[in-house]
Amino acid sequence: MCGIVGYLGRKEAFSILIEALKKLEYRGYDSAGVAIWNRGKIEIIRQKGKVDDLKKLASNKDIKGTMGIAHTRWATHGIPSERNAHPHRAGEVVVVHNGIIENYVELKQRLRNEGRRFSSDTDTEVIPHLINSYVEKGHNFVDAVRLAICELKGSYALGIIKEKERVMIAAKKESPLIIGVVDGESIIASDIPAILDITNKVIFLEDNDIAIFNEEGFRIIDTMGNAVERKIHTINWTSAMAQKGGYKHFMLKEIFEQPVAITNTLTGRVKEDKGEIELDNLKLPNLEKIKKIWMVACGTSYHACLIGKYIFESNLRIPVEVDIASEFRYRDPIIGKDNMLILVSQSGETADTIAAMKEGKKRDSFVLSICNVLGSTLARDADGVVFTHAGPEIGVASTKAFTTQITVLFMLMLFMAKKMGIFTTGQLKEKIGELRRIPHKIQEVLNNAKHIEEIARKYMTYKDFLYIGRGINYPSVMEGALKLKEISYIHAEAYAAGEMKHGPIALIDENFPVVVLSPYDITYQKTCSNIEEVLARRGKVLLFTDTSGHEMVERVESVFVMPKTIYELEPIISAIPLQLLAYYIANLLGTDVDQPRNLAKSVTVE
Ligand code: F6R
């Protein structure tokens, strides 16, 4: 998804902007551009491709200046190309934009009727034209921006500069935008990693904020021109935490970070000696009145919700309905004030999940979000929030966010169970104890990563994979198959193991490996029968079981043995070898693991 950065200070802006853009590469993009202000003139360079290509292009030019804005674009309106890449200019005004302008067609028509000429296919280009039209009517720069954005419908995070004036303006609505707070310099960005080399003091702009930067510093106003105050937050992530830290890819680093990510997520929250969970002063409504819980999310976070359903229903005995965020509101969901809506999102900025939150609020449900990014829209606007302290997740494929989401869902279940008087203190202590052992068990799996790499080498050339599992292992294989397809581009399909004989079994032959996830739990024996069915058709089985699952080990072609845990926590352990299998296959095939084709880290369009 698009990323924007801006700088005003004493140093050369170009290299600062390029470095900051590189830290936003994880968001996924297809083109990049930069505009540098120098003595009242603005020079723009932009092109299709990577930030490094932009740097090469700029090396032939003498780009100097201490103020500028820059952008990575992920195409929504108009193909990836130089003419559609940002920044966009109209007259003296130059703009970078993240988001979508919904009323751009009518604005474009009106501006065209005034004789203005457009040079791209983007929705964004109406913004500089609109601002410029107000400048031409005699408004000062700030008022021109303010009046223009009042006419925009849709979402935007904007960086704006203008010839002749050494002023940079940022504005935000429904797309993330932060200010890095530093003495004598001003920096804006779509996300924290872009500014961490410069500062760890951050302001999260809120919807309808307009920030104005000049030599003296900055001020923030609303769209009516009234001054607004925003809190400065200190971010504890170091810049090194947001880097690869010696691993070949961010994804591999993030897989290996999971013991720490889960430990951080548990820290200060689990009180094993008292059998208690504390969740950041979370205030829940009266649980006796909650008739149904909804869990809504996209992609990997949706799979975490499917696992959450097993965890909640089996323990709390409250019905849980899980929905894909992009589907939720279109089916007029039966949700009201006796329901709780739990939204799960790594970024906290996924447009469909935000839309689901609005739907839940409109219908008076208590809305709780589980997010990884502090200050994100879902974290700010929900009635309650529990953070997954996974740290920055840079690889586009979600890994540590997923396992920390399940961790939070499990803690939340225990927190609610305690309130509802469901478990004895002894039972709570037992469950908390097992949760605390999970990071060590993950480490055991990671210590055997080489074995999974060998398995990956054996199967990397196959073109299709089937993943099967039963019960709580079914959403886990859905996640495993998603990981494989998104980073290796190999077709992978997940099925509930019992469904295989209702159709997919027709596909099984020696060219169709079947990944079977079957820890020794209540579903084990039944899944063994499914393995037999595959073997009878000369299918190849890659079995992921635990230390008690002996029965099929000798009969299948490849086996990986995981440590044992309780049923509800099995998905955290099994996520690790399935993530590693996908990673090693993709790495061996040489794909762009951290930025797979066509994918964006934060999907801020519906
Ligand atoms: C897959 C993946 C995506 C995200 C989805 C939701 O590896 O990362 O499927 O899970 O786009 O994103 P968040 O969790 O940020 O709402």
Reported as a single tens digit per residue, the pLDDT across 465-521 is 999 999 999 999 999 999 999 999 999 999 999 999 999 899 999 999 999 999 999
For residue 466, the tally of other CB atoms under 10 A from its CB is: 23
Q: Say whether pLDDT at 242 is over 90.
A: no
Q: Say whether pLDDT at 1 is over 70.
A: no
List the structure tokens of 559: 């086996």
**601 CA to centre of ligand 1 in angstroms:** 7
Please name which of 272, 316, 275 lies closest in space to residue 420, comparing C-alpha atoms: 316
**323 CA to centre of ligand 1 in angstroms:** 14
Q: Say whether pLDDT at 26 is over 80.
A: no
Nearest CA to ligand 1 atom 4: 299
Do residues 488 and 518 make contact, with C-beta atoms less than 8 angstroms apart?
no
The pLDDT value given to residue 349: 92
**CATH superfamily of the domain spanning 2-243:** Aminohydrolase, N-terminal nucleophile (Ntn) domain (3.60.20.10)
Q: Say whether pLDDT at 30 is over 90.
A: no
Nearest CA to ligand 1 atom 9: 299
Phi, psi of 539 (to 5 degrees): -75, 155
Contact residues of ligand 1, CB 6 A cut-off: 298-301, 345-347, 350, 353, 397-398, 482, 486, 602-603
Given 2, 298, 371, 528, the catalytic residue:
2
The pLDDT value given to residue 75: 78
List the structure tokens of 234: 């200190």
Which tens digit of pLDDT belongs to each residue from 412-429? Answer: 999 999 999 999 999 999
The pLDDT value given to residue 305: 98
**109 CA to centre of ligand 1 in angstroms:** 36
| Ligand 1 mutation target, pool 255, 300, 409, 578, most atoms within 8 A of CB | 300
Residue carrying structure tokens 């200060």: 268
> Is the C-alpha dihedral spanning 266, 267, 270, 273 positive or negative?
positive
For residues 338 and 374, give the distance between their C-alpha atoms in angstroms, rounded to a whole number: 28
pLDDT band for position 370 (cuts 50, 70, 90): very high
Burial class (CB in 10 A: 0-12, 13-18, 19+), 443: middle
Burial class (CB in 10 A: 0-12, 13-18, 19+), 117: exposed
**Overall average pLDDT of the 20-40 stretch:** 90
The pLDDT value given to residue 558: 97
Given 23, 50, 400, 601, the catalytic residue:
601
List the structure tokens of 10: 């004493």
The pLDDT value given to residue 245: 64
Q: What is the DSSP string of 57-95?
A: HHHTS----SEEEEEEE--SSS-SSTTTSSPEEETTEEE
The pLDDT value given to residue 246: 72
For residues 159 and 141, give the distance between their C-alpha atoms in angstroms, rounded to a whole number: 13
The percentage of residues in the chain with a pLDDT greater than 90, rounded to a whole number, is 84
For residues 64 and 11, give the distance between their C-alpha atoms in angstroms, rounded to a whole number: 10
Do residues 501 and 536 make contact, with C-beta atoms less than 8 angstroms apart?
no
List the structure tokens of 482: 């998603």
Query: Can you tell me which atom of ligand 1 is nearest the CA of 483?
Result: 7
Which tens digit of pLDDT belongs to each residue from 99-133? Answer: 888 899 999 999 999 999 999 999 999 999 999 99
Which tens digit of pLDDT belongs to each residue from 132-152? Answer: 999 999 999 999 999 999 999
CATH class of 252-441: alpha beta
Cβ partners under 8 Å of residue 604, min gap 6? 1, 2, 98, 99, 155, 175, 176, 349, 350, 351
For residues 131 and 54, give the distance between their C-alpha atoms in angstroms, rounded to a whole number: 27
Do residues 161 and 167 make contact, with C-beta atoms less than 8 angstroms apart?
yes
Which tens digit of pLDDT belongs to each residue from 534-583? Answer: 999 999 999 999 999 988 888 999 999 999 999 999 999 999 999 999 99
For residues 104 and 151, give the distance between their C-alpha atoms in angstroms, rounded to a whole number: 10
Nearest CA to ligand 1 atom 16: 345
Q: What is the CATH number of domain 448-589?
A: 3.40.50.10490
How long is the chain?
Answer: 606
Q: Note the pTM of the prediction, 2 decimals.
A: 0.80
Do residues 62 and 53 make contact, with C-beta atoms less than 8 angstroms apart?
no
The pLDDT value given to residue 405: 98
Q: Which helix (H) or strand (E) holds 583?
A: helix 570-589
List the structure tokens of 599: 């994918």
**446 CA to centre of ligand 1 in angstroms:** 23
Q: Say whether pLDDT at 588 is over 90.
A: yes
Q: Which helix (H) or strand (E) holds 41?
A: strand 41-48
Query: Can you tell me which atom of ligand 1 is nearest the CA of 600?
Result: 11
For residues 29 and 194, give the distance between their C-alpha atoms in angstroms, rounded to a whole number: 15
**270 CA to centre of ligand 1 in angstroms:** 27
Query: Can you tell me which atom of ligand 1 is nearest the CA of 298?
Result: 6
Question: H/E/C letters for each residue in 495-531?
Answer: EEHHHHHHCHHHHCCCCCCEEEECCCCCCHHHHHHHH
277, amino acid identity: I
Q: Which residues face 69 on adjacent strands?
A: 6, 35
User: Do the domains 448-589 and 2-243 match in fold?
Assistant: no
Q: Say whether pLDDT at 60 is over 90.
A: no
Phi, psi of 186 (to 5 degrees): -130, 135
Nearest CA to ligand 1 atom 5: 299
Average pLDDT, the chain: 94
Q: Which helix (H) or strand (E) holds 367?
A: strand 366-371
Which tens digit of pLDDT belongs to each residue from 301-359? Answer: 999 999 999 999 999 999 999 999 999 988 899 999 999 999 999 999 999 999 999 99
Burial class (CB in 10 A: 0-12, 13-18, 19+), 174: middle
If one compares 74 and 460, the residue with the highest pLDDT of the two is: 460
The percentage of residues in the chain with a pLDDT greater than 70, rounded to a whole number, is 99
In Å, how far from its chain's centre is CA 496?
A: 26
**402 CA to centre of ligand 1 in angstroms:** 9
List the structure tokens of 148: 């223009």
pLDDT band for position 155 (cuts 50, 70, 90): confident
Nearest CA to ligand 1 atom 10: 300
| Ligand 1 mutation target, pool 347, 353, 409, 599, most atoms within 8 A of CB | 347
For residues 156 and 333, give the distance between their C-alpha atoms in angstroms, rounded to a whole number: 28
Do residues 171 and 149 make contact, with C-beta atoms less than 8 angstroms apart?
yes
pLDDT band for position 376 (cuts 50, 70, 90): confident
For residues 156 and 351, give the distance between their C-alpha atoms in angstroms, rounded to a whole number: 12
Q: Which helix (H) or strand (E) holds 560?
A: strand 558-562
| Whether residue 601 lies in the annotated active site | yes
DSSP state of 121: S
pLDDT band for position 240 (cuts 50, 70, 90): low
**Overall average pLDDT of the 253-280 stretch:** 91
Q: Say whether pLDDT at 367 is over 80.
A: yes
Query: Can you tell me which atom of ligand 1 is nearest the CA of 378?
Result: 16
**Overall average pLDDT of the 156-166 stretch:** 97
For residues 98 and 215, give the distance between their C-alpha atoms in angstroms, rounded to a whole number: 25
Domain residue ranges in the chain: 2-243, 252-441, 448-589
For residue 396, the tally of other CB atoms under 10 A from its CB is: 22
If one compares 449 and 74, the residue with the highest pLDDT of the two is: 449
For residue 76, the tally of other CB atoms under 10 A from its CB is: 15
Phi, psi of 341 (to 5 degrees): -110, 120
Query: Can you tell me which atom of ligand 1 is nearest the CA of 353?
Result: 16
521, amino acid identity: D
Query: Can you tell me which atom of ligand 1 is nearest the CA of 396?
Result: 8
- Can you point out the beta strands (E) in 228-272? 233-234, 270-271
For residues 429 and 407, give the distance between their C-alpha atoms in angstroms, rounded to a whole number: 16
Which tens digit of pLDDT belongs to each residue from 396-409? Answer: 999 999 999 999 99
